A = this chain, B = another copy of it.
């Protein structure tokens, strides 16, 4: 069972392989009748083009690289799947999606122009910058999603986590809260730093209170939220509201309250971030912040698509606004 190549077809059709190549690429140089015959033959023989050969001569790979900061923690699986899904739907046909983590590829250092035709970097951390720099140097069409980056020669779609944190904390302030705790995310993540900054600023601007013993470091997983909350509740006094910087940690935090006999939100309020798909079904329903992930991914992929056909395209930047989602996990203290 030999592989079918354009030469196999050429032989059968009594033409040169060049004609076959042209026919299959719908070149205007070939007579319509010839095209038809050749296409039919290709179909019958089950011809599939060899992308290595094609790529070799055309200097492309038919691969779009999708790179995540880190596959182990922090990147929400659902976000990842979202990116893949959208990318598949919006990218021109013929491209495959190749997945890897920035981390592992920075190490091996083998990312080059002819390995990928383009790249989507879903970045969480400033640590990715050298990697991004490398891609740009190699003139790889690229978009950076999720995190706002400083350089202006790259298309970049992100959400304003700082603003999201401010919005939700100001809401808590409006509900009468004055004493706040926080369960932070991994320090290397820009999102975590931004949310923290929003927290700090709202506290300061409103003369609210926070204390070191009300602040704990988590890692975006439920376990860490649970543990952090237990620690905080061990303090002599407790705040009235806790900002868990993502919904997974908020879930763990709620559980910790339950275990120690605190009712949420009656005894203590908890706010989350990200509006996970199950957050509105928790007990209590989580008050949280929704990032416009869909539009980010969608616009990002569209930008890359355009970039692929027009490498000289001016970079597009967009910082999308998060939405406050008010549900039941924050108590109204004014009543």
A330–B85 alpha-carbon span in the complex (Å): 37
Contact of A3 among B56, B104, B113 (CB under 8 A): B113
Is A97 a contact of B99 with CB atoms below 8 Å?
A: yes
Q: Copies per complex?
A: 2
Residue interface bits A55-84, CB-to-B below 8 A is 1, else 0: 110000101000000011001011011001
Query: Number of contact residues on A: which range applies?
Result: 35 or more
Residue interface bits A86-103, CB-to-B below 8 A is 1, else 0: 001000010011111100
Whether, in the assembled complex, A115 has its beta carbon less than 8 Å from a beta carbon of chain B, the answer is yes
A69–B255 alpha-carbon span in the complex (Å): 35
Whether, in the assembled complex, A274 has its beta carbon less than 8 Å from a beta carbon of chain B, the answer is no
A50–B112 alpha-carbon span in the complex (Å): 9
Whether, in the assembled complex, A248 has its beta carbon less than 8 Å from a beta carbon of chain B, the answer is yes
Is B56 a contact of A85 with CB atoms below 8 Å?
A: no
Which residue from chain B places its CB closest to the CB of A264 in the assembled complex? B283
- Whether A222 touches B254, Cβ cut-off 8 Å, given contacts A53-B56, A63-B98, is no
For the complex with contacts A51-B115, A97-B99, 7 further pairs of A-B residues with Cβ separation under 8 Å are A3-B114, A52-B53, A52-B55, A71-B85, A84-B99, A99-B99, A221-B277
**10 A–B contacts from the bound complex (CB under 8 Å):** A51-B61, A52-B55, A52-B114, A63-B98, A88-B100, A97-B99, A221-B277, A222-B277, A248-B278, A254-B283
